[in-house]
Chain A
Amino acid sequence: MEPSTSRFSEPAHDTVETDVLIVGGGMTGAGIMRDLALRGIHSTLIDRRDLCAGASGGNHGLLHSGARYVSNDRESAVQCRRENVLLRRLARRCIEPTGGLFVAIDGDDPDFAAAFPQWCSVAGIACELVTPDEARRLEPHLSERIIAAYRVDDATVDPFRLALQHVAHAGSLTGSSYRPHSDLIAFDHDNDQLTSAICRDSRTGALLRIRARQFVNAGGAWAGRIAQLAGCPDVHLRYSKGTLLISHDRLTNHVVNRLRPPADGDILVPGGTVSVLGTTSLRIDDPDLAVPTVAEVDRNIAEGAMMLPVLATTRYLRAFSRVRPLLPAGDDGDDRHAVRGFALYDHQGDGLTNFCTITGGKLTTFRLMAQQAADLVAARLGNTTSGRTDTTPLPEDDSCRWTEPGAAPRYWHLAGNRDDMVLCECEMVPQSAIDEIVRCAPGAEEEMTLEAIALRSRAGKGPCQGSFCGIRIASYLYDRGHYRDRTGLQHMRDFFNERFKGMRTVIRGPQAAQMELAEALHCGVLGLDALDDEDDRDPLTQRLETGATDD
């Protein structure tokens, strides 16, 4: 391993120091940050975008009972069962104990349905037989064609709130810090040690050096690339793109799973005031290129409607795609058959003693993944405190409360301040929520993008998908002096572009009307499609220069 400090040795950038640098602000990275803090270790967490920008923020929000995996991956099933029980107890505010149903439809393999309770039993997973009529009583939208149903302990989780609270807790324990939009571009080496990481601020382009004693790669689907930057070529992942849809209404109170081998469109998960339908599975080559297609959307709807006919006609707010990082075991070409386990690489074989990679896995097992990575890091630092995330409740932090559906209107109503105006009218997010987020939410900074605010609140999550509140919140940020020039307009444009990515494949019926109005407003009136023109060329100046006059 050759020292490689030459490229970034010039003193043109700032340097910060930490015990442990964690790369990747998904649930695993946030989990490691908190786990280390509970052992008294200071860390810095970086993400090239923001918290839960990858698979952690792009899934069903399903806290598995484990039953999903009993047929083909018992180890994952057992892990899920244990983590499900732990997290329900320790992270109450982030979890809704909805319960789950597994239902088989006329035409599904009856042998699979018959074997299911036995598989659950072997994995120690509670599973109760219910009659099709009882199932329909529990969930009136279920199809008449159900032939078998079981009840399990599935639950739902808000990954954004979970990540925010982990980061906030770590900050309060050891002053550990989180830096969004920090793109890792290189490591510096000294023999068998990494000494620092160089990050580029993806908004300003500024470089930052982060010195650390230990380095953790929690890059999810991007873990292979990060490992390569450290000179470790052996982290190989497969990228499985999953596309999901969010419905306008909450259609069920239970998680509803199709009782068959995992396939497209076979899980519907309630999440606050909406439901999430998914997912498809498609192997792709580049985790940065995961966008939903109309074909995937239609496929999910057609399959989902077999379980719940209402899914064929309900209104969808958006679709999204993320990449599952899969470990390369038993490749038979179908990524659904891949095990959903995780792996911890210590990279000793690559000649490094202070770098590790944790990847694979799934949202439900993030805590276990984080604990195993933190065990290794703590041991390497000579810290003998044992992990405490399996016993320590996750404290609540006011600045993290705004992601919860219904929290903003409740708070606003209780406070009763008429001058605290509601900026996002779909989700009732008031000015004071924006103030609190900008002041002290994890990752808060002086000039936050609208996307960063939306990630930390419900703003833009309702039927209008931010078309109106994006304008109001931006105006408010100008008022408060957070936005001072035309970059605020770019933040508006970027926010609308980002929201559109999710709406693009589900625009039909009433959404077409809404999109027409939004585009007329954003482009026709405000000219956000032509910001670059206006920036390049002041039309008035040019008009005066050319001597044109009206007459």
Chain B
Amino acid sequence: MTKERRHVSCQLAVVGTGLAGFAAAVFAGNRALDTALTGNTGALAYTTGYLDLLGAMDGGGPPLDDPWQALQTLQATQPEHPLCRLSPASIHAAFTEFTSFLGSAGLNYSPPGRRNETVLTPVGTLKKTLCVPSTMAPGTTALTDKKPCLVVDFHGLKGFSARQVVANLGGSWPVLSAARLVFPGMEHGEIYPEVMARSLETAATRAHLAELLREVAGDVTTVGLPAILGIHRPDRVRAELEKLSGLRIFEIPTMPPAVPGIRLRELLEQVLPQRGTTLIPQQKIKTLSFEKDAVRLDLADNYGPIVIEAQAVILATGRFLSGGLAADPNGIREPLLDLPVSQPGSRADWFREGYTDRRGHPINRAGLSVDDSCRPLTAEGRPFDRRLFCAGIILANQDWIRSRCGAGVAIASAYRSVEQVRQLLGD
């Protein structure tokens, strides 16, 4: 049986289903651009749920309280940084638009503030971020106010230890204590956050857990849990659990892949098609060719080949983990279009001697060089094609890991790219 080739015709094709690709689809949808979104798995499940803008200066330095001021510094010292391709006001607008979209779809976030929030990590260290899921926000408040608080973990849940969180935070938060519970219906063996989260979407599990929490909390009125409060509508799960237990409850991220990232992915995969985006998930593009009248993307799913024809493309394929870059022994490549990759001179220079060296590794700064419109450049420094734009951490001249700016780079460059696409297509 020959499978029929299916055609998708659209104004914008976004390649990549990580944060940058999804953000681009959100911004394009809001601007009524007819958009197709495709890509393989994407690294969204590896996120904590926090949306960082800029948590530290590139190349080391203390945690940043004011990312907006730091952006000014970055503008002066590293104008090539992707966060310098648009004004702080535009970046603020991008974060506002993205978090509003998530909120309207049922996943509430704190709006971008003037300063970074200080948030908890799975091991009880602290981290700077800009926007916090509302399931986690009360943790930041409790931490700031140093409220008496109980951190709860669960028998069988590996890699999240309430005692560890308390041991590491105890110095700055002395009224913190730890307790371990057996999760309702999961008495033995290893248990997984995603399964617990789905279980908490049922009223019976919530009621049972609320009872356990009330018993263990004693006089304490604020309780921190690993991030397990439902995959869909976590704010409602949290509200009901609070009502049933009479406690203030917040989530702490667990080791990725984890519930907050799965939430984002499932929500976006569900909501974007409802709002008009053509989503072809879990598929890798085979070829991308720039023809006279359209950009053509070839891919295939279980039902056979698919051709997407678009007027513009945003490449948001990520770095090595997502396949946007490939680390060959002889050099770093961009495998889809073989775009030139800005990179260290040789493989011997990819990494510094010390893994946790504050200056970060040169390989992290490798990536695609773009112009001010986020268009990838050829070796001669000209745009590869006026219809090709690029977003996310595949961009060169940034170290998103060390400067805690992954979501910032993704959201800002997606915003910039979509604005440029809109200009190209003449509104």
CB within 8 Å of B: which residues of A? 291, 293-295, 298, 418-419, 421-423, 468, 471-472, 474-476, 478-479, 481, 483-486, 488-489, 492-493, 496-497, 499-501, 504-505, 507-509, 511-513, 515-517, 519-531, 533-534, 537-541, 543-544, 548, 550-551
Contact = CB atoms under 8 A, between A and B. Distances in A.
A262 to B, nearest CB: 26
Contact of B127 (A421, A472, A474, A525): A525
B353 A504 contact: yes
Interface in B356-413: 356-358, 361, 363-364, 400-402, 404, 406
B18 to A, nearest CB: 12
Q: Please give me the 8 A-B residue pairs with the lowest Cβ-Cβ distance, nearest first.
A: A512-B327, A500-B355, A478-B164, A418-B189, A294-B348, A475-B161, A512-B320, A529-B356
Nearest to B357: A529
A474 B164 contact: yes
A421 B190 contact: yes
Given A419-B189, A550-B115, A508 B328 contact: yes
B164 A483 contact: yes
- Interface size class on chain B is 35 or more
28 contacts: A474-B123, A474-B164, A478-B161, A496-B356, A504-B351, A504-B353, A507-B350, A508-B327, A508-B347, A511-B327, A512-B363, A513-B321, A516-B321, A519-B355, A520-B401, A524-B404, A525-B48, A525-B122, A525-B127, A525-B256, A526-B125, A527-B121, A527-B125, A528-B356, A534-B125, A539-B118, A543-B118, A548-B65
B172 interface: yes
A522 B356 contact: yes
B163 A520 contact: no
Interface in B92-144: 113-115, 117-118, 121-123, 125-128, 143-144
Nearest to B117: A550
Interface in B137-192: 143-144, 155-156, 158-161, 163-164, 167-168, 170-172, 188-190
B163 A471 contact: no
Contacts of A537: 62
A521 B155 CA distance: 23
A194 to B, nearest CB: 37
> Among B43, B144, B156, B321, which residue has the most Cβ atoms of chain A within 10 A?
B321
B78 to A, nearest CB: 19
A507 to B, nearest CB: 7
A315 B328 CA distance: 12
A482 to B, nearest CB: 11
B182 to A, nearest CB: 11
Contact of B400 (A483, A488, A508, A524): A524
Interface in B306-349: 319-321, 323, 325-329, 346-348
Contacts of A512: 320, 325-327, 363
A540 B172 contact: yes
B354 interface: yes
Contacts of B190: 418, 421-422
Given A478-B167, A540-B144, A471 B123 contact: yes
A511 B118 CA distance: 32
> Among A295, A471, A512, which residue has the most Cβ atoms of chain B within 10 A?
A512
A539 B63 contact: yes
B247 interface: no
A30 B180 CA distance: 42
A529 B253 contact: no
B46 interface: yes
B161 A479 contact: yes
A538 B319 CA distance: 33
A489 B383 CA distance: 46
Interface of B: 43, 46, 48, 56, 62-63, 65, 113-115, 117-118, 121-123, 125-128, 143-144, 155-156, 158-161, 163-164, 167-168, 170-172, 188-190, 253, 255-256, 319-321, 323, 325-329, 346-348, 350-351, 353-358, 361, 363-364, 400-402, 404, 406
A298 B160 CA distance: 40
A157 to B, nearest CB: 30
A539 B190 CA distance: 35
Contact of B167 (A484, A505, A508, A548): A484
A484 to B, nearest CB: 6
A528 B320 CA distance: 22
A125 B101 CA distance: 77
Given A520-B401, A548-B115, A497 B168 contact: no
A471 B123 CA distance: 9
Given A471-B255, A508-B327, 20 more contacts: A298-B329, A418-B189, A421-B158, A468-B159, A471-B123, A475-B123, A478-B167, A485-B168, A486-B171, A492-B123, A509-B328, A513-B320, A513-B321, A516-B401, A524-B404, A525-B127, A525-B256, A530-B56, A530-B63, A540-B118
A460 to B, nearest CB: 14
Given A418-B188, A509-B328, A526-B121, A488 B404 contact: no
Contact of B159 (A472, A481, A505, A550): A472
A534 B355 contact: no
Contacts of A476: 158, 161
Given A294-B348, A497-B354, A512-B363, A541 B172 contact: yes
A423 B48 contact: no
Given A475-B158, A526-B125, A527-B126, A551 B114 contact: yes
A507 B46 CA distance: 21
A476 B162 CA distance: 10
Nearest to B403: A524
Contacts of A522: 355-356
A403 B325 CA distance: 36
Contacts of A472: 158-159, 255
Contacts of B43: 517
Contacts of B400: 524
A525 B160 CA distance: 14
Given A478-B161, A508-B329, A539-B65, A516 B320 contact: yes
Contacts of A474: 123, 164
A484 B166 CA distance: 9
Contacts of B361: 519
A35 to B, nearest CB: 39
Contacts of A484: 167
Contact of A540 (B48, B143, B347, B356): B143
B33 to A, nearest CB: 31
B356 A486 contact: no
A450 B46 CA distance: 24
A74 B395 CA distance: 60
Contacts of B355: 496-497, 499-501, 504, 519, 522
Nearest to B318: A516
A491 to B, nearest CB: 12
Contacts of B402: 523-524, 529
A516 B190 CA distance: 27
A363 B319 CA distance: 43
Contacts of A527: 121, 125-127
A551 B164 contact: no
B308 to A, nearest CB: 26
A20 B361 CA distance: 47
Contact of A419 (B156, B255, B348): B156
> Among A421, A483, A484, A509, which residue has the most Cβ atoms of chain B within 10 A?
A421
Nearest to A542: B65
> Among B126, B158, B167, B189, which residue has the most Cβ atoms of chain A within 10 A?
B158
A550 B113 contact: yes
A522 B256 CA distance: 11
B127 A521 contact: no
A472 B156 CA distance: 12
B5 to A, nearest CB: 32
Nearest to B404: A524
